[in-house]
């Protein structure tokens, strides 16, 4: 007789409204994070616990998670910024593992990111989601918002979905949309905005690809500009603000 399957990652997904904070906490959600943070577990101890658990990556190599975390250099010796990139693109042929977690158990992903951030003393976590996965994206973003409102994500911990920490917005009707962010123009028949935000190294660069009236940042005409909080950007004659999500 073939034994019944044992589920680990998707047990909560069977619950109604499994994507919500209320249901997640009813089934033990964020207890591990509270143990780590409120209990004051040293990062090295967290890594050892993950090693003992036998947790492995879900890619083809199945690499031990705790061992991978231990490769992060000591911040006292290497003070550079520290990031985690969560690849939820599902680019491997025939895979459908990430979308289910993001759609049905997004708080599990958020809690895992926060524990990893504590263990490796990270500055930011980026969750990369492909553009077609609109519902998984929305649920992960909603989970982050819920966790932050509940005080589970502190201001000093930054989580970005789809790797875009900047947004360009204005409180008027959006007339056009680019691949990576919203652009607001006063009249689509007069002004044409052709620009995009590109991720280059550790920076996010606004690049003019041939807009009708060009791009101005902080009063200067530019072809490209590394975005910073508080930048004033003029796209097609409309002023917009650069803010962090």
Cα separation of 216 and 222, whole Å? 6
What pLDDT sits at residue 14?
A: 84
At 189 the pLDDT is 37
Question: Count of CB atoms within 10 A of residue 33's CB?
Answer: 19
pTM of the predicted protein model: 0.64
* pLDDT, position 198: 63
CA 87 – CA 176 distance, rounded (Å): 28
116 CB contacts (<8 Å, ≥6 apart)? Answer: 69, 84, 122, 125
Q: Which pLDDT belongs to residue 143?
A: 92
Contacts of 157 (CB under 8 A, 6+ apart): 114, 117, 125
Contact 23, 17 (CB under 8 A): yes
How many CB atoms within 10 Å of residue 47?
Answer: 21
- Angle (CA) 59-15-66 rounded to 5° is 30
| Sequential pLDDT tens for the chain (245 residues) | 556 667 777 888 888 999 999 999 999 999 999 999 888 899 999 999 999 999 998 777 789 999 999 999 988 888 888 888 888 888 777 777 788 899 999 999 999 999 999 999 988 888 888 777 888 888 998 998 899 888 887 655 555 555 444 444 433 222 333 333 333 333 333 344 455 666 565 566 777 655 556 677 887 887 777 777 667 777 655 555 555 44
pLDDT reported for residue 177? 35
CA dist 129 and 36 (Å) reads 27
Sign of CA dihedral 51, 202, 198, 190: positive
């Amino acid at each position: 007789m073939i034994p019944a399957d044992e589920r680990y990652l998707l047990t909560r997904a069977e619950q109604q409204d499994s994507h919500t904070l209320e249901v997640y906490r009813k089934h033990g959600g964020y207890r591990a994070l509270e143990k780590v943070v409120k209990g004051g577990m040293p990062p090295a101890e967290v890594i050892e616990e993950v090693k003992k658990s036998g947790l492995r990556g879900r890619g083809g190599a199945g690499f031990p998670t705790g061992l991978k975390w231990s490769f992060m250099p000591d911040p006292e010796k290497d003070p550079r910024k520290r990031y985690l990139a969560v690849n939820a693109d599902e680019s491997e042929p025939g895979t459908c593992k990430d979308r289910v977690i993001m759609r049905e158990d997004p708080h599990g992903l958020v809690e895992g990111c926060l524990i990893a951030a504590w263990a490796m003393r990270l500055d930011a976590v980026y969750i990369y989601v492909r553009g077609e996965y609109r519902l998984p994206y929305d649920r992960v973003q909603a989970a982050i918002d819920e966790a932050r409102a509940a005080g589970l994500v502190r201001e000093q911990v930054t989580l970005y979905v789809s790797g875009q920490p900047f947004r360009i917005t204005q409180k008027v009707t959006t007339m056009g949309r680019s691949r990576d962010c919203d652009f607001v123009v006063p009249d689509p028949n007069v002004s044409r905005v052709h620009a995009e935000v590109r991720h280059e190294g550790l920076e996010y660069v606004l690049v003019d690809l041939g807009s009708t009236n060009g791009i101005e940042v902080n009063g200067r005409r530019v072809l490209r500009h590394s975005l910073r909080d508080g930048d004033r950007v003029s796209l097609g004659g409309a002023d917009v603000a650069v803010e962090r999500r």
